Structure formats: structure tokens, C-alpha cells
Amino acid sequence: MKRRTAVTAVGPSALRGQGKGVLGAAQTFLSKMDLSRVSMMNREQFYHWLDKQTYLLVKQLPARGAPWGTARKAINLFLRDILYNQYLSRAFGMKNIEHWLEVPLDSAVASGLKHEAGRDGLPAWPGLKNLKKDISQDFQNFALHIAEENGIARIHLDVYLWLENR
């Protein structure tokens, strides 16, 4: 079920244009990702784990330029779908970390966040291949603000931002 979730969460459209072999490498990495201890982590430990998983996935991707944004999007999509699958969510205690999960960033979600932020509220979207941790963090911080205003976890912003801005 975890492998199926990796394949369906991170499909061809999610990583379109990211390079030959990137999709398969990401899906394989995600299907093997150890989630057994994630629910026992505190916030700081979780974000350290997330950064480490992003780095490890970057090393597995057959793409030039260390595509940090590509790896982070794939992981965030996967974690979102693990949360949304009642069996996997229960097995891995995902409700415990729901409010720490990041919104998967792509051009559609970034466009929606930039629209919400107004002129000069967020940096220019560099594209997924060129997205680095610092710019991602700016978008994630603003997404957290919007989510809190709406009384939801940031991960759920993907549901309406992506649909409204694709």
C-alpha cells in the first residue's frame, strides 16, 4: 500500500519536466522511506528528519543541479497522501504530525500564495528545479499563516490552491 501511495501521489504530472528517470527514482525512494518513528518526533526533530530525507532523495535523483525543490515536493506529496489514506495514516500516526506537514509547492500553489500575499509579499517563484530551502521556507511560512487564519493544517492548502491555480 505504501508503494502504491508513492506511485499515485507522485505521478508523471507532479514531476513533469524534472528530467529523465526522476519520477521512478523518487517513487522508489518514497516507497522505501521509513515512517515508523515519525509520529514520535517533536516538531524540531520532524523538520530535521524532513530536511535529511530531502537531502537523501536529492542524492538519488538522476538530475543535474541538485533539484532540492523537486525532492521536497515529492516528499510532501507523498506525506500528504499517507495522511489522507486512513490505513497508512493510522499505521504511521500521521495525525500526530498533521500540523507540521508542508504544503507541496509547485507553480500553481506558489501562484495562489503569491496572489494571497499581494505585491512583493513573497519572492519570485524560481521554478521547481531552482527552488532552494530558503525560498521554500518563505512560501511555507506564508502558507502556515494562511492555514492558521482558516483553521486548517498547512498541508490542506494544496487541495484548493492547486485546483484554483492550475
pLDDT digits (tens, 9 = 90+) for 138-165: 999 999 999 999 999 999 998 888 777 7
CA-CA distance, 165 to 52, in Å (whole number)? 30
Q: List pLDDT tens digits, range 103-113.
A: 999 999 999 99
Q: Which of 28, 166, 2, 11 is nearest to 83 (CA)?
A: 2
Grid cell digits, residue 48: 530535521
Give the global pTM.
Answer: 0.94
- Give residues with Cβ within 8 angstroms of 78, minimum separation 6: 5, 6, 9, 10, 30, 33
- Rg, the chain, Cα only: 15
The residues spanned by each domain of the chain are 2-99, 107-165
